[in-house]
């Protein structure tokens, strides 16, 4: 992922977009609404993302990355699986 996701403004945009997408759906939310919710300008938005679809892809990539890390940590645990009948 080539985005500067550690930048505070980028994090604010991702967090705002995720909150709004979860609440209202992707189609319903505009770039302007994401910017207002994040407290940044549209110019700042376009410094990090090409468009709304780019934000969606970045959020999905982050979710997949987090989930994969969590899965790998679980699989590395030295625990037994017992079946309950």
pLDDT tens per residue across span 20-53: 999 999 999 999 999 999 999 999 999 999 999 9
Please choose, from the candidates 49, 34, 35, the residue with its C-alpha nearest in 3D space to the C-alpha of residue 2: 49
Query: What's the CATH class of domain 8-76?
Result: mainly alpha
A 10 A CB-CB count for 28 gives 10
pLDDT of residue 85: 52
d(CA 51, CA 45): 8
d(CA 30, CA 42): 11
Domain boundaries defined on the chain: 8-76
Output the average pLDDT for the chain: 92
CB 44 within 8 A of CB 16: no
């Amino acid at each position: 992922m080539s985005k500067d996701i550690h930048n505070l403004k980028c994090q604010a945009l991702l967090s705002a977009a995720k909150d709004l997408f979860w609440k209202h759906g992707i189609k319903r939310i505009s770039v302007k609404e994401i910017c207002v919710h994040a407290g940044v300008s549209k110019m700042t938005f376009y410094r990090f993302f090409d468009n709304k679809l780019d934000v969606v892809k970045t959020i999905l990539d982050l979710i997949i990355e987090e989930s994969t890390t969590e899965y790998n940590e679980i699989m590395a645990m030295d625990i037994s699986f017992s079946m309950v009948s």
